[in-house]
Chain A
Amino acid sequence: METLIEVHGLEKTFTLHNQNSARIAVLNDVTLSVGSGECVALVGPSGAGKSTLLRCLFGNYLASAGAIRLRHEGRWVDLPQSAPREILALRRSTLGYVSQFLRVIPRVPTLDVVAEPLRELGVETASARERAAALLARLHLPERLWHLPPATFSGGEQQRVNIARGLIAEKPILLLDEPTASLDAANAERVAELIDEARRRGAAIVGIFHDTEIRGRVATRLHPVAVEKFEAVA
């Protein structure tokens, strides 16, 4: 099994400069290694830093210390050491992220929102849309919604759009933040099937799954995230 994610001694401390420079240590010495074909579920109470860890892995939060090495196009890339354009290249072809909430782009129809990651990889518009349609159909998103922007959709509909967008490009590393939180059991099961498929084709997956049933269904391993929060001594 090839290792695709390697985290060593990761620390994340937020310094709130405008609130008396309060320092909040969220992650302390996190070490994690995830291989191709694994789905690692982060477990721990609310506020333990599970989402913070995912955001650090995506380069959305800046690591305070430590290494985050990701396998990208046959070589290792250390995320905290990478320039913005290298991180964008990594996200384009290697690193997928399904956030809890869809950040809506005004006016862009759902089909194009979902097709965009493929378009960024150079796939032609028509075939990108075709694959987007197939994925949305699998997720049972009503076809009448495909040509509307997702801004006015329900929570569960938006979440399925978000999942389709995150999974369509079949990236080798996937980060999933509560991908089934607003879905009913039937739709959650469809998402679980897609996660299984991604894993079987060799993706390394790190996820947060609040629902223990879904977690048990998709995770191959659990990784505890401990509450480390404390006011660091100035």
Chain B
Amino acid sequence: MSAQHGDRAAAAKTPGPLSQLAGKGGGAPLLRVEGLSRKYGGRIGCSDVSFDLHAGEVLAVVGESGSGKSTLLQLLATRLALDAGSLHYQITGRGLVDLSALSEADRRWLMRTDWGYVEQNPRDGLRMNVSAGANVGERLMAVGARHYGEIRSTAKDWLQRVEMDPARLDELPTGFSGGMQQRLQIARNLVTRPRLVFMDEPTAGLDVSVQARLLDLLRELVTDLGLAAVIVTHDLAVARLLAHRILVMREGRVVETGLTDQVLDDPQHPYTQLLVSSVLQV
């Protein structure tokens, strides 16, 4: 694994080419989800969810609060144990691997390097008592970067990439606005060049003007880095702007899935029709 660490650290320094992967050809999926279920006591959190996610594909999971979308995200990210079903992930050089059979060390390596997880509240995804630079650099060190100057300059590059003033590298995130904290959290997640990122309502806690800017930034980054992403949102406009595909959840079940613009412009399920028709037009 140490060679892999080195490669990733090197790769993290230079921006990659625009990915052309989304939606192309056949091939094995990056993530295969089959029959995922989870109960809380007698209540259903998530029931029988299945889908494939390919490299470079962005999937939005939409639904109201309590629909099971956050439970699904936590199950996918292996933060919650499954009651039933399976998760397979394409690990470079190893093919589709059953995540439940992965050693704890491998699972943690995956989460620190090949995956990202952007929390709704940036305070949950950042370390608030260390500097912005350290927040970004920490993930780099997890993939084997050791050279202080290089870590610092990569961290600086990433602050710029998420439209933050690199002069604030040594400041604590506690002094940042909510929008800045969220952008810092995104930089922290993307610096290791993950292939798969989970996002839980990434724009929900922000002012509308800040939201638009962040969405735009996310859209650019996702396209330029060729990220696969699962984004949980209750905001259909976020789904329209970012996602290739949409999965509509209600009471823990998937009620409709398809191409984003098709599901939003020609919803088939009564619940999706209700969701779409309830959006206020500006």
Contact A18 B258 (CB under 8 A): no
Residues of A contacting B244 in the complex (Cβ-Cβ under 8 angstroms)? 84-85, 88
Q: Whole-angstrom distance between the alpha carbons of A108 and B219 in the complex?
A: 11
The 8 A CB mask of B1-29 against A (1 = contact, 0 = none) is 00000000000000000101011110000
Count, chain B residues at interface, CB 8 A = 29
Q: Can you report 11 A-B residue pairs in the complex whose CB atoms are below 8 A from each other?
A: A15-B268, A17-B270, A18-B277, A84-B23, A85-B22, A87-B259, A89-B24, A106-B216, A108-B216, A119-B18, A122-B20
In the complex, how many angstroms separate the beta carbon of B54 from the nearest chain A beta carbon? 6
Residues of B contacting A122 in the complex (Cβ-Cβ under 8 angstroms)? 18, 20
Q: Whole-angstrom distance between the alpha carbons of A119 and B273 in the complex?
A: 34
In the complex, how many angstroms separate the beta carbon of B221 from the nearest chain A beta carbon? 14
Task: For chain B, residues 190 to 224, give those with C-beta under 8 angstroms from any C-beta of chain A.
Answer: 212-213, 215-216, 219
Contact B23 A88 (CB under 8 A): yes
Residues of A contacting B265 in the complex (Cβ-Cβ under 8 angstroms)? 55, 60-61
Q: Whole-angstrom distance between the alpha carbons of A18 and B24 in the complex?
A: 37
Q: With contacts A85-B23, A86-B23, A88-B23 known, is A60 near B213, CB below 8 A?
A: no
- Whether, in the assembled complex, B262 has its beta carbon less than 8 Å from a beta carbon of chain A, the answer is yes
Task: For chain B, residues 211 to 245, give those with C-beta under 8 angstroms from any C-beta of chain A.
Answer: 212-213, 215-216, 219, 241, 244-245
- Whether, in the assembled complex, A71 has its beta carbon less than 8 Å from a beta carbon of chain B, the answer is no
- Whether, in the assembled complex, A44 has its beta carbon less than 8 Å from a beta carbon of chain B, the answer is no
Contact A16 B273 (CB under 8 A): yes
Residues of B contacting A89 in the complex (Cβ-Cβ under 8 angstroms)? 23-25
- Whether, in the assembled complex, A23 has its beta carbon less than 8 Å from a beta carbon of chain B, the answer is no
Count, chain A residues at interface, CB 8 A = 24
In the complex, how many angstroms separate the beta carbon of A57 from the nearest chain B beta carbon? 13
Question: B241 touches which one: A14, A59, A88, A105 (CB < 8 A)?
Answer: A105
Question: B213 touches which one: A18, A107, A120 (CB < 8 A)?
Answer: A107
Number of A-B contacts (CB under 8 A): 66
Question: B259 touches which one: A16, A55, A59, A105 (CB < 8 A)?
Answer: A59
Question: B258 touches which one: A84, A86, A107 (CB < 8 A)?
Answer: A84
Q: Whole-angstrom distance between the alpha carbons of A18 and B276 in the complex?
A: 11
Interface positions of B (Cβ within 8 A of A)? 18, 20, 22-25, 54, 57, 212-213, 215-216, 219, 241, 244-245, 258-262, 265-266, 268-270, 273-274, 277
Contact A85 B57 (CB under 8 A): yes
Q: Whole-angstrom distance between the alpha carbons of A14 and B266 in the complex?
A: 8
Across the two chains, which residue of chain A brings its CB closest to B217?
A107
Q: With contacts A60-B265, A84-B244, A119-B18 known, is A106 near B24, CB below 8 A?
A: no
- Whether, in the assembled complex, A92 has its beta carbon less than 8 Å from a beta carbon of chain B, the answer is yes
Q: Whole-angstrom distance between the alpha carbons of A88 and B21 in the complex?
A: 11
Question: A107 touches which one: B25, B216, B273 (CB < 8 A)?
Answer: B216
Question: Taking chain A's interface residues, is the majority helix, strand, or loop, or is none over half, making it mixed?
Answer: mixed
Residues of B contacting A192 in the complex (Cβ-Cβ under 8 angstroms)? none
Residues of B contacting A61 in the complex (Cβ-Cβ under 8 angstroms)? 262, 265-266
The 10 closest A-B pairs by CB, nearest first: A17-B270, A88-B23, A85-B23, A84-B259, A61-B266, A89-B23, A106-B212, A107-B216, A84-B245, A17-B273
- Whether, in the assembled complex, A62 has its beta carbon less than 8 Å from a beta carbon of chain B, the answer is yes
Across the two chains, which residue of chain A brings its CB closest to B246?
A84
Q: Whole-angstrom distance between the alpha carbons of A107 and B54 in the complex?
A: 28
Task: For chain A, residues 103 to 150, give those with C-beta under 8 angstroms from any C-beta of chain B.
Answer: 105-108, 119-120, 122
Contacts A105-B219, A106-B215, A119-B18 known; 9 new A-B pairs at CB < 8 A: A59-B259, A62-B258, A84-B260, A85-B22, A85-B245, A87-B23, A88-B244, A106-B212, A106-B213
Residues of A contacting B260 in the complex (Cβ-Cβ under 8 angstroms)? 84
The 8 A CB mask of A195-207 against B (1 = contact, 0 = none) is 0000000000000
Q: Whole-angstrom distance between the alpha carbons of A59 and B25 in the complex?
A: 18
Across the two chains, which residue of chain A brings its CB closest to B53?
A85
Q: Whole-angstrom distance between the alpha carbons of A18 and B241 in the complex?
A: 26
Residues of A contacting B245 in the complex (Cβ-Cβ under 8 angstroms)? 84-85
Residues of B contacting A84 in the complex (Cβ-Cβ under 8 angstroms)? 23, 244-245, 258-260, 262
Q: Whole-angstrom distance between the alpha carbons of A120 and B244 in the complex?
A: 14
Contact A88 B22 (CB under 8 A): yes
In the complex, how many angstroms separate the beta carbon of A216 from the nearest chain B beta carbon? 31
In the complex, how many angstroms separate the beta carbon of A202 from the nearest chain B beta carbon? 24
Q: Whole-angstrom distance between the alpha carbons of A105 and B212 in the complex?
A: 10
Task: For chain A, residues 1 to 43, give those with C-beta under 8 angstroms from any C-beta of chain B.
Answer: 14-18
Contact B54 A85 (CB under 8 A): yes
Residues of A contacting B22 in the complex (Cβ-Cβ under 8 angstroms)? 85, 88
